[in-house]
Structure 1
Amino acid sequence: MPTTPAPASLVLPENPAAFQGGDLTAYRPDQITVDLSTCTNRLGPPPHAIAAVRRLLSERPGDLVPPPYERAQPPYVAEKRYLAAFADRLGADVGDMLPGRGVTEFLTILSRVLREERVAVIAPDYTETMRLFPYATFVSPPDMARDTVELRLERVRMALRTDDVVILSNPSNPLGHFIPSGDLLQAARENPGAVLVVDEEYIDFQGEDLSLAGADADNLVVLQSTGKTYGMTGSRAGMLWTRNQHVRDLVAAQLIRWPLSLLDITLGVAALEDSAWLTTVRAVIQDDARRLQQVLAERFDELVVPAGIHYRFVHLADPRPVVEHLAAHGIAVRMFDGSVHSPCGIRIMAPNGPAELAVLQAALDTLPAGWGRA
């Protein structure tokens, strides 16, 4: 695959955290050949989901005309179809779920309703989580140590003993660490007075049947969406699961009526029902991610964070020249500058197949020795 060199005038934002939040406006479309900066499944959406939307628009366009006054109280009939598809896949109860516009809407609402509580965020974490909870205690690795699964779990256990609410992503964003679901469930059960909120946005990339949704615990809150897994982040659909009636009522009171559009629901339901597509695509992505790990390890060895997810993080003392070098070879990656309880380095999504991997390999082969290191 040919590369498109970026012009010499390319200047990254002075604040690298802008990339962390998804702002890639420094790149022009003609500068990027391979976009490894985002964590959305680039093999999606599932064809079955696209076909479902086409059928809706061609065969039942009248369904879009009336407002969704299907029931007096939420969840409404269409939204319940979406939750039922999630419930079937997760083995959870629809009555314990709420529909919403992706994981971020639920985090936004939780940041409002939990303001009077003692909240801990297990850092590093999703940029929006840390932005939405400025009043939280950010529980980072001790003494600036590089994080590990074991350290992350220990911080969860510690925070559950001292705070009212503990929030984390699992697998973690941006490092990719995955704490076994059984360990998190045990930690929650050992601390019934605290609520554990788990953002599982990327859990389907880790493997099958790993979600905490449906677990026998009253102090768990699980967030998921159909955006990243199915490659349709442009739609906004997700769910919150919890058996904690108090938390569910607080969130439900803040949700707008009919948060999901019929198009979002049609896409989401069809995607969730296409389990064969997800199984096949997950295997492809995991293979690509293992190859990415090997290529990065050849260049950065111990600086690469091992993971079982679809991206890898590379610890770098000065990531900017590496990011600019990759951009000059038509490759976009996500940069982190070590601010706001975040690590310093780059996060790279797995290339799609050998051609994209070869582009990355060629760029890394021309990277001057020692770049990015202390």
Structure 2
Amino acid sequence: MEPGFQPDQRSRMLSIFYFAIPVGSGLGYIAGSKVKDLAGDWHWALRVTPGLGVLAVLLLFLVVQEPPRGAVERHSGSPPLSPTSWWADLKALARNPSFVLSSLGFTAVAFVTGSLALWAPAFLLRSRVVLGETPPCLPGDSCSSSDSLIFGLITCLTGVLGVGLGVEISRRLRRFNPRADPLVCAAGLLGSSPFLFLSLACARGSIVATYIFIFIGETLLSMNWAIVADILLYVVIPTRRSTAEAFQIVLSHLLGDAGSPYLIGLISDRLRRSWPPSFLSEFRALQFSLMLCAFVGALGGAAFLGTAMFIENDRRRAQLHVQGLLHETEPSDDQIVVPQRGRSTRVPVSSVLI
């Protein structure tokens, strides 16, 4: 998507693109629960996915055409960007604090969403059991799928609302504050943490309050998706964006949603062993373990606040590099760089100071 739109149009296009993540996740909960009910076996809920994946790959192969990277950002007189080695790209990305910190913040988002994706429906069911609203789900029984349906609907709605809200707020604030993007991401994560904590704390008293707080928390959490992608696109030069995106995806999955469900389950099992066996113990163990998500979200918000400290300088350096006015091998503080049509591409500061 990056080469096809001007930077001012890109944010809205990314928001439309990133609607697919929460909406697809929510529809997955809904479709999976219905397929499981119809087939009488939860394995069939997983057998729907491969067919959809094959269809998506065919559409990408047959329909999507890839334009030149960075074409809309370069001026007509700017020199073409030369690709560098993969190792050089990694070293340059490691020296880009905005990219590193925003990737860590996005990893926190993935950690929280991955934990909720696996454990939220089970937690809501255990909450209903403790409240006496539904019978326990014993091995061999056909368990209720109403919580998966409701959580799926909440995920769809909050995803659309949060992604759109985050992009629009950020777009409006950019007119007054060039650091608006990371600040909106930080506000989303720091704001979602207390609501997720309240949703867990209120689960033993009111399931309705739990759903309300989950709705607010997931809405604030979803504000980050498109903005993080936009940050990457303007702090990383076009020839490195594929590497940067790949690194960010691997990092967010490896330290985020790939391991967070296991970690939450491990903590829950350890807590449950120290209490007498009961449905209340199972509920409390999962409740306390999920509270880790609120603290991880706060850490992610701190990472985005750190991003705000460096974002202006990193964006300026990327713009100068794209325009051919800055070379990475040379420090930008002690030299003045002029366009190549001038007599010299590098003029020492000492030669022009009076």
- Normalised to the residue count of structure 2, the TM-score between the two structures is 0.28
Higher helix proportion: 2
Higher strand proportion: 1
Larger Rg over CA atoms: 2
- Normalised to the residue count of structure 1, the TM-score between the two structures is 0.27
